Structure 1
Amino acid sequence: MSQAAEFDQAYAAEALANQLRYNKHVSEMGQEHDLLPAGVEHYNDAKDVDESDDWHFPTEEERRTLRRVSEKMNWPAFAICVCEFAERFSYYGATQVYSNFISKPRPIVHGQLSRTGANKGTDSTSGALDLGSVASQGLTLFNSFWCYITPLFAGWLADAYLGRFQIICYGTVIAQVGHILLTVSAIPSVMDNQQGAEACFVIALIIMGTGTGVFKASCSVLVAEQIKIKQQTVIRLKSGEKVIVDPALTTARTYMWYYEMINLGSLAGQLGMIYAEQNVGYWLAYLLPTLVFFLPFPVLWFGRNYYKSELPNGSVLTQACGAWWLCVRSTLSWNPWRFIKKYGTEAFWSYARPSTYPGAVKPKWMTYEDRWVDQLDRGVKACNIFLLFPLYWLCYNQIVNNLIIQAGQMDMGGSPNELVAQLDPIFIIVFVLLFQFVLYPACERYNIPFTPVKRITVGFFLASFAMVWAAVLQHYIYKTNPCGTHVGDHGFLAPDGSKCSSLKNSSSLSMWVSSGSYVLIAFSELFASVTSLEVAMIMAPKNMRSIVMAIGTVTTAVASALGEAFVGLSQNPNWVINYGLFAGLSFVGGILFWLSFRRIDKNQDYLNMIGQETFEERVAHGQEAIEPATLHTDEKAETTV
């Protein structure tokens, strides 16, 4: 027998032994065998695990005292992240060149019309459709809004009928059709027919946006559902230390890697397509994203039998809406304060529990169990957490356009001012590594409970500080250019009476000084944006995760709509007021967020375990406290979220 065959047999025997030991352990707990993996090889330090000691679910005392650790990312989760990399490369690579493609005409290069729209070797701007800045702004805003609204419908389809893996496959096909049409619209012979190119481009926007929304609705949920250890599990390391493998911590670290792939894809797509547009033409700038987006097809196909996900439940939305409305109707009062005090409490949700339903005949849709109401309560709390996020996204959206304009008001050193926008994904790529290899390991080592509510609060404040940096920088831009508060404008007179059009109308400050804003925004994304994915995944009912994730995504669309009200501030001489206003909104948002959800923060561990079957079985048998230990009797009735 060869050495490789002997190794395979030994590995198979060890895996079988692990499986039998876990089956015995889980069977003793009275649970199904698929609740836990065959072994702890998915834990980051599996080589340090003492396999002579049986694993077990933690007691209340162990949850309070033992250190929490995460399992490592498995290959199905990594494969889904690869799909997300390809999708973000394709999406951002294409959208990066939308503005010039729509608004600018095809340039004249060496005395001839550039048929591809490229401007290689000239000072002119690449272009194609020549529809003007108004049409460009309208179409790009529509594209963004459409991409963030469609996840609502797609999330409902995934949870109720199709399942998450299947909806991702459909979204991939739909988006690819849109990418192909986008490439067709940029073929030189098609651009020669102005109306035909416009129609093809608009149709491509709608189809690609639909596919993007369908894909995004469930991709972030599916990647976290690949976590193997789904229950808090106590293991003993070879050092003798007992630790808890915590799926909530695993989810947080999984989404960090997920966000890393998002930004690697967006950075590669944006940088690559900027130079493809300038040097070759739009057909290549759209063709390359199309080719990259073929990558998810084999990844999804070969992994179709390995991805794990909750099965769809056709009545889930009807049940959720019916249960919530039943509680609202039964507790609604002419006294608003009385209703607010009762909303979200145990008494409020008791009207939706089958065991305590006050009516003689239950509604036909009430086919769920009592414990699902606890999950629904937690999902509503997750949706409530998203309510203040538009204040955060208002700050984040400044890096898309306004901070690029600010860079153009300074000394660019021969580089395009769009280049500064690439600092955001670059910093995120670096900071994810810092979080994964320094911050999170330190929190695990010293058992520091850096909960989602704390992280999101920090994210709000960091976004506010980023806008403070931009406001202070703008003040100095006005002071260090010859035209004062009309930097970059033409048709105005400088303070010395000279025409601004005849002066070097920019600040002497380097545009890279604005990198401070991008550092702070990148940090804030990892604290706020990434954590919002974690909240949606952990706190939503298992059969409503795509819907709750989509609701979180819609806050970006809401922020875009709110941003329209402040467009008047996005011009000279109001830039300082613009950034200062958004800094204030985010800072106030952070304070309100903490005040509103600090009680969730106190009970985050308890909320994380709702929906974990082993925990609920122990509660049912009186082995665990039914209420979180941090809530006293007089607080329970007043807890509102």
Structure 2
Amino acid sequence: MTVTTKPPGAESHTTELTVIPSRLLDGSTNAVDLKRDGTDQEPPSPVVGVPSLVPVNQDGRPVATEEEIATLLHVVDDIPSRTWIACLIGACERFVWFAGTMPLQNYIQNAPGGAIPGALGLGQATASNIVNALMISSYVTPIPAAILADSGHGRYRTLVWSCIIEAIGGTILAATSRSGTFEAEAALPGMIVALVFLSFGSGAFKTAVIPFIVDQYEETEFRVKTLKSGEKVITSRELTITYIYNAFFWAENVVAVVTVATPILERYVNFFAAYLVPCVVMWLTLIPLLLAKKRFANTKMVEENVIPAVAKALWCGATSGFRMDAAKPAAQLDRKRRVVPWTDSFIDDIKTSLLTCRVLLIFPVYWLCFNQAFNNLISQAGQMITYGIPNDVIMPVSLSAPLVQYGLYPFLIRRRIGFGPIARITFGFGLLTISMAYIVIVQHLIYRTGPCYDHPLACAAGRNLPNKISVCIQLPFYFLSELASVFCCTTGTEYAYNRAPKSMKTLVQAIWNLMAGIGSILAMPLSPLAQDPRLVVMYGVLTGLMGVGTVLTWAIFGHLDKEESTML
């Protein structure tokens, strides 16, 4: 940034301000370079007799100096209210998704009139496959949605239209889940149409909502802030974004508490009442989204569609020995006699995005294991004594998110202990491995308990009753898996946003979401094992895959927390 001063009777002087890197929570260096001339020269010394002007933001806080950045404590900045409104909208949509999908396993698997609520009676394997297909669709949709969000429509308009599509899907699902539709054979086709709308709406929404939330925090520079105690600190954009991600994740946990209403309504009223709740909430979510339009930042931000250029650049790199540097204009002109429409910095952006995506490639195994909570573990709960609690009241609510955000992270920051994104992801993978190993033990205990042993709910002696083991034995899995998601899911989302170039943020976010879809695809070949008495084997296979993924993540990418590597 260049500051020009001209005291009365004096000649104008130009002074450059440069912010240098500082080690943050992840142990890496992240800086906001305010120089504009592209040189590496030191800023000129202040001119005697010329007053020093320090750039300040709208709150009057000055840009931090080199010494202040290096010595003062880095803290989370003040977050504008529009960010919290965007978080609320995102949390409401997550409620609709969770509340709408939680009863699906029972709705599809079980027949009406049984001990466990049901409607279609298609069996566990078919139900799990349909739920997995829904997951796949909702995580593939973000790719075309990202193109719209980053180009023609913009993120705000993408959110509005995706809300409407998801609300229509919720309306169809509620309307076709009324008891009269079962006899008219409208429930199954109605559900299929509804799931198409839900998957498209939710997929488009979640690919745009994270970048949109972060867009509401516009500060990009290190600023000096004076606390009430008089201590001077530095506000850090990276720490602030991490805080926003964790707050949004915790909001998802809070709304998960409310989603227990749908399984309760399913069990004690009917499926229509259960599905009516998310339907109404989705339509209501449109109200703050539309009313707060003028308060939101970047509602009209539309980027050029970079997908065609990215595809051509990748092709040039692939046909030149799979080296992206060979796709740069000078290299293409020299080797191929070809003039390309992009710049060197555009190729560097693609390389950064590819490196980010490579780190995310092990996440399908994470989602394969984590998503068991939405299908097979619901069925597992139905094999045990539930004390009148619906078996699909998933227990994802965890205090781990605020404990990590307000306890662990501040502790590490104040002691300047590096805990980078790769370390956090690896730690989370390890926790999920332990939780899956625990589920193997739980399923083994179910099979060792009567009256039906390894065929729960399916023997004459059981009379359609569960095995005599408490559903509370599942609780440690939910605690460990949710703690794992604090480190894996939030860090993965943050990593996908922070490491992606501006013109490709929503696209990289869509690829991050696609990893969950691939995880659901991986679940399909395992569906023959998703039935008694083979479930111990299935959970054992998942535990092994997650363990291998944990080791590979640290072995391949652990060094990225300490160094900047191109790898391409």
Indicate whether 1:193 and 2:169 are aligned.
no
Indicate whether 1:520 and 2:509 are aligned.
no
Shift of 1:226: 1.5
User: Do the aligned partners of residues 512 and 105 (structure 1) sit closer, same or farther apart at CA in structure 2, a change above 3 Å counting?
Assistant: closer
Gaps in structure 1 of 5+ consecutive residues: 1-23, 41-50, 108-122, 333-347, 492-498, 604-627, 629-635
**Distance in 2, Cα, partners of 1:300 & 1:199:** 31
Contact residue 429 and residue 484 of structure 2 kept, 8 A: yes
Shift of 1:364: 4.9
Indicate whether 1:287 and 2:282 are aligned.
no
Contact residue 407 and residue 417 of structure 1 kept, 8 A: yes
**Distance in 2, Cα, partners of 1:536 & 1:139:** 28
Identity over the aligned pairs, expressed in percent? 28
Alignment-derived partner of residue 345 in structure 2: 371
Q: TM-score, normalised by structure 1?
A: 0.73
User: Do the aligned partners of residues 202 and 547 (structure 1) sit closer, same or farther apart at CA in structure 2, a change above 3 Å counting?
Assistant: same
Q: TM-score, normalised by structure 2?
A: 0.82
Shift of 1:529: 0.9
Alignment of 1:210-609 (within 5 A): 210-235=200-225, 243-269=233-259, 271-309=260-298, 311-332=301-322, 348-354=323-329, 358-359=333-334, 363-366=339-342, 368=343, 370-419=344-393, 421=394, 423-424=395-396, 426-427=397-398, 430-481=399-450, 484=453, 486=454, 488=456, 490-491=458-459, 500-501=461-462, 506-507=467-468, 509-603=469-563
Query: What's the secondary structure of 1:295's corresponding residue?
Result: helix
Shift of 1:530: 1.1
Alignment-derived partner of residue 113 in structure 1: none
What is the identity, as a one-letter code, of the residue corresponding to 1:55?
V
Alignment-derived partner of residue 345 in structure 1: none
Indicate whether 1:39 and 2:59 are aligned.
yes
Alignment-derived partner of residue 79 in structure 2: 73
Per-residue CA deviations over 1:317-354 (Å, capped at 9, x if unaligned) read 1222223332333234xxxxxxxxxxxxxxx4433444
Shift of 1:436: 2.2
What is the identity, as a one-letter code, of the residue corresponding to 2:357?
C
Contact residue 132 and residue 523 of structure 2 kept, 8 A: no
Gaps in structure 2 of 5+ consecutive residues: 1-15, 20-32, 38-54
Indicate whether 1:156 and 2:147 are aligned.
yes
Contact residue 391 and residue 585 of structure 1 kept, 8 A: yes
Contact residue 83 and residue 295 of structure 1 kept, 8 A: no
**Distance in 1, Cα, partners of 2:366 & 2:128:** 22
Cα RMSD of the aligned pairs, angstroms, is 3.3
Alignment of 1:67-106 (within 5 A): 67-104=73-110, 106=112
Contact residue 36 and residue 231 of structure 1 kept, 8 A: no
**Distance in 1, Cα, partners of 2:445 & 2:71:** 52
Contact residue 83 and residue 214 of structure 2 kept, 8 A: yes
Displaced runs of 4+ in structure 1, greater than 6 A?
24-28, 502-505
Indicate whether 1:640 and 2:564 are aligned.
no
Alignment of 1:112-131 (within 5 A): 124-129=115-120
Query: What's the secondary structure of 2:417's corresponding residue?
Result: coil
Alignment-derived partner of residue 173 in structure 2: 182
Shift of 1:239: 5.9
User: Do the aligned partners of residues 468 and 355 (structure 1) sit closer, same or farther apart at CA in structure 2, a change above 3 Å counting?
Assistant: same
Alignment-derived partner of residue 119 in structure 1: none
Contact residue 63 and residue 224 of structure 2 kept, 8 A: yes
Query: What's the secondary structure of 1:244's corresponding residue?
Result: strand
Contact residue 487 and residue 506 of structure 1 kept, 8 A: no
**Distance in 2, Cα, partners of 1:233 & 1:390:** 38
User: Do the aligned partners of residues 351 and 243 (structure 1) sit closer, same or farther apart at CA in structure 2, a change above 3 Å counting?
Assistant: farther
Is the helix fraction higher in 1 or 2? 1
User: Do the aligned partners of residues 314 and 541 (structure 1) sit closer, same or farther apart at CA in structure 2, a change above 3 Å counting?
Assistant: same
Choose between structure 1 and 2 for higher RCO, CA contacts under 8 A separated by at least 6 residues.
2
How many residue pairs align between the two structures? Answer: 522
Contact residue 489 and residue 500 of structure 1 kept, 8 A: no
What is the identity, as a one-letter code, of the residue corresponding to 2:538?
N
**Distance in 2, Cα, partners of 1:449 & 1:168:** 36
Larger CA deviation: 381-390 vs 313-322: 313-322
**Distance in 2, Cα, partners of 1:37 & 1:377:** 33
Alignment-derived partner of residue 7 in structure 1: none
Shift of 1:402: 2.9
